[in-house]
Amino acid sequence: MTATAPRQQENPLAEGLALRRTPDPCALIIFGASGDLTHKKIMPALYALAVRRLLPPRFAIAGVARTEGDDDSFRQDMETAVKQHARDPFRQDAWDELAAQLHYVASDFADSGGEDKVHDLLGRLDEEQQLGGNRVFYLAVPPPAFPTIVEALGKRRDDRGWTRLVVEKPFGHDLESAKQLTATLLEYFREEEIFRIDHYLGKETVQNMLALRFANGIFEPIWNRQFVDHVQITVAESIGIEARAGYYEHAGAIRDIFQNHLLQLLALTAMEPPIDFTSDSVHNEKVKVLRALHTPGPKSVVRGQYGRGFIEGEDVVARRSSTSTTGAGRTRPSTCAWASGSRGTRRRSRSNSRPLRIRRSRRAPRRGCARTCSSSTCSRTRASRSRSARRCRDRG
């Protein structure tokens, strides 16, 4: 008589659950690979995916920048960036696996033939790793470089595989330039291939605002003008301009923070519940809030700048610059839920902390005259009580 191995019981809770889809093989091409965004955000995010084994089995990363270098120097630079900025503990085995997929091209697309080096590298990677011509182009470069890169990529694209184009903020410098950039993108890429993103919204704690709003039975019923007097949104960071003086001189705090990060947070706090949480439904509710905002006048906006100086030999702000590095503003959304409420936003550089704070001050009931007095300026009104949601302290 022979012993048989015990039969492993199936988990009844797993019935009907779909398996995680295996990502398609592809090449990720990062333009601006030597920049601040790649070091602090993109590469740590890729490392986090590698640690969790969420990257495609056949995957390649090509960094493109004007800085001179080769594959080895790029890998060393990115390893240092991961050790400094990644949220996950550094694991040498995970990094070695990811580093083997890193490649670097020193090229300036503004020069004639600059795109040939990238095209040749991608062709070689397709042949060696069978990537199928799938591409993800990430434009982590200043906005003036967008049209040149997009035109070069569009003229060389073929029918093999799929293509995704990721365009970072700021999207243009005013309304007219944003429209022109949109027209350039749509000349070579379809709308469903284009991802205009704000990396700030990728923060886990920013995304948790949706759960705080719509999955919380305590907050949502009172999240309106009947119970909330005003809302304050503060974005502060400990870093300064650092090596971004050239970019910041043209962008400033208004374009770098206000017109994207802060307006997105304002839309998240003021939007109505979407019919579902697909990207289109959430986008539509945000647009309703932004269209309902009152344009703040000069009396409702304050801009400031911390003094000139040097940080590790780099200019903090260009000389004789009037570019703002901090500011505050006040506006009112004319939606049904917030018609009489106000929103205040502020941005600070060189703060001694890094919080994202959203503070709501609720209306307090009046004593003695609630039934007879309807004036919002009644002298017998009690002071509003504040509740603060503090987010993103030292989080990626």
- Indicate which residues carry an active-site annotation: 261
Q: Which amino acid is at 134?
A: N
In the β-sheet with 301-304, what is the strand arrangement from edge to edge?
A: 301-304, 326-331, 342-348, 228-236, 356-362, 385-391
Cα separation values, 316 from 283, 294, 306, 323, 327, Å = 36, 33, 9, 11, 17
Distance, in Å, from the CA atom of 30 to the CA atom of 101, rounded to the nearest integer, reads 13
Q: Which residues, other chains included, contact 255 with Cβ-Cβ below 8 Å and sequence gap of 6+?
A: 170, 173
Cis peptide before 170 (omega within 30 of 0): yes
Which residues have a Cβ under 8 Å from the Cβ of 221 and sit 6 or more positions away? none
DSSP label at residue 223: -
Of 188, 177, 136, 162, the C-alpha closest to 31 is 136
Query: Element (H or E) spanning 26, and its range?
Result: strand 26-31
CA distance 348 to 240: 9
Q: Which two tokens stand for residue 229?
A: 């007097």
* 263-270 helix and 279-292 helix, angle to the nearest 10 degrees: 100
Q: DSSP letters of 115-147?
A: HHHHHHHHHHHHHHH--TT-EEEEE-S-GGGHH
Do residues 266 and 235 lie in contact, with contact meaning Cβ atoms separated by under 8 Å? no
